[in-house]
Amino acid sequence: MQGVGLIKHSLAYRYIKEGTLVRIGDFALKPRFAYYLCAPANHFNRPKIQTFLSWLNQEVDEFKRCDMSHLSVIETDYVLRPNSL
């Protein structure tokens, strides 16, 4: 199967690393977004919310460690902010 797609690097990185996807070009865009985890304040103490937040932070940390030294990257800030409703 062949084709071209515009995909967030954070979603495609594993597949590029495995060789399943091939990058065309030598630049990556990191759009300016902030992510918020929203819930009533007392829900942040729930184990399932803590598990999800831990997993999400691990994914963000993994992406930060991606080797993008060979790319021209336009940098912006990714921010994960827990937020109470």
Does pLDDT of 36 surpass 60?
yes
Task: Say what the pLDDT of residue 47 is.
Answer: 95
In DSSP terms, 83 is beta-bridged to 38
pTM confidence score: 0.48
Task: Say what the pLDDT of residue 16 is.
Answer: 84
Task: Say what the pLDDT of residue 1 is.
Answer: 67
First to last CA, the chain: 45
SS3 at position 72: strand
> Looking at residues 6-25, what average pLDDT do you find?
81
DSSP 38: E
- For the stretch 38-83, pLDDT in tens is 888 889 899 999 999 899 888 878 777 777 666 666 555 555 565 6
Supply 41's token pair: 């304040």
In DSSP terms, 74 is beta-bridged to 29
